[in-house]
Amino acid sequence: MTAAPKPLWPGLLLATLGAIAFSGKAIIVKLAYRHGVDAVTLIMYRMLFALPLFLLLSWWASRGQPALTRRDWIAVLGLGFSGYYLASFLDFAGLAYVTASFERLILYLNPTLVLFLGWLLFKRRVAGRQLLALAVSYAGVILVFGQELHLQGRDVLLGAALVFGSAVSYALYLVYSGEEVKRLGAMRLTGLATTVASLFCIAQFLLLRPVSAALTVAPEVIWLSLLNASLCTFAPVLMVMMAIERLGATIAAQTGMIGPMSTILMGVWILGEPFTPVVLAGTVLVLGGVWLLTRWR
């Protein structure tokens, strides 16, 4: 007698909630910027509040596992720097100049960047239909970029470059983390890499700002950072990991397509960002291109 298949809905629910929670980060950052805080201070608070949670995750995932080798520590430091510190800082800095909706569309190009880096660094073959999927996605970003440039001015160039740099940095993390995930496990690597990134963010603040700068921020910045660290940083990491265990990476990634749409809706509702036919068309193109790329891979 065969066992009944496990229901998919718990995994789908976890993947959906994780995507929405991740997307809320941009909204919280934009709200915090209204209180005069800068990116260096804001990301320090986010990672300071998240650090105890990531330390706990690292300890829990490391139970009964062999100690890290020197090679493992070097890999964790490099991956933590690229995937969580640099990617997060560039993203926070870019959000000072672009809308949350546009930021999420740029970040959602990540699978296309992984494909490109695989070709560039490891000479992996790229099929013609994959190039077509890339063209569709980037056409959507260029479409929305034109509107942003018209409405926001030339600062959008800097903001878009910073957010795109964030996407490239995280794509490098994904490309190089595969072997380390096999050695350490996804949960342990995530806990260790995010702990390293938290320490980098705190050290950056101590090097670039006086300690008094952290004491003079508005109370709203503290509460928003607490929310960002827990609901939009730590919680979605766990939810997405649990969803991948239940659904597999492909289905979990496709469910994550709800992320850009939730960012746009929250941006319109909470931030008052414009929702125009151009934004809608660009979003459809980006999501469609990434969906095709995922399907054809």
C-alpha span between 27 and 237 (Å, rounded): 18
Per domain, the residue ranges of the chain are 9-296
Mean pLDDT within 111-138: 82
Q: For the segment 217-234, what is each residue's pLDDT rounded down to a tens digit?
A: 999 999 999 999 999 989
Q: Which pLDDT score is estimated for 45? A: 96
Mean pLDDT within 139-145: 89
Mean pLDDT within 52-61: 94
| Segment (H or E) for 138 | helix 128-152
**Other C-beta atoms within 10 Å of 151: how many?**
13
Q: For the segment 241-296, what is each residue's pLDDT rounded down to a tens digit?
A: 777 667 665 566 666 677 788 888 898 899 988 888 888 898 888 888 888 777 75
Q: For the segment 238-250, what is each residue's pLDDT rounded down to a tens digit?
A: 887 777 667 665 5
User: By 3-state DSSP, what share of the chain in percent is helix, strand and coil, each rounded to 5?
Assistant: 85, 0, 15
Task: Tell me the pTM.
Answer: 0.88
Better-predicted residue by pLDDT, 3 or 137: 137
Q: Which pLDDT score is estimated for 93? A: 95
C-alpha span between 208 and 44 (Å, rounded): 11
Q: Which pLDDT score is estimated for 1? A: 47
pLDDT > 70 in the chain, percent: 92
C-alpha span between 36 and 30 (Å, rounded): 11
Q: For residue 269, which of 27, 22, 20, 14 has the smallest C-alpha distance?
A: 27
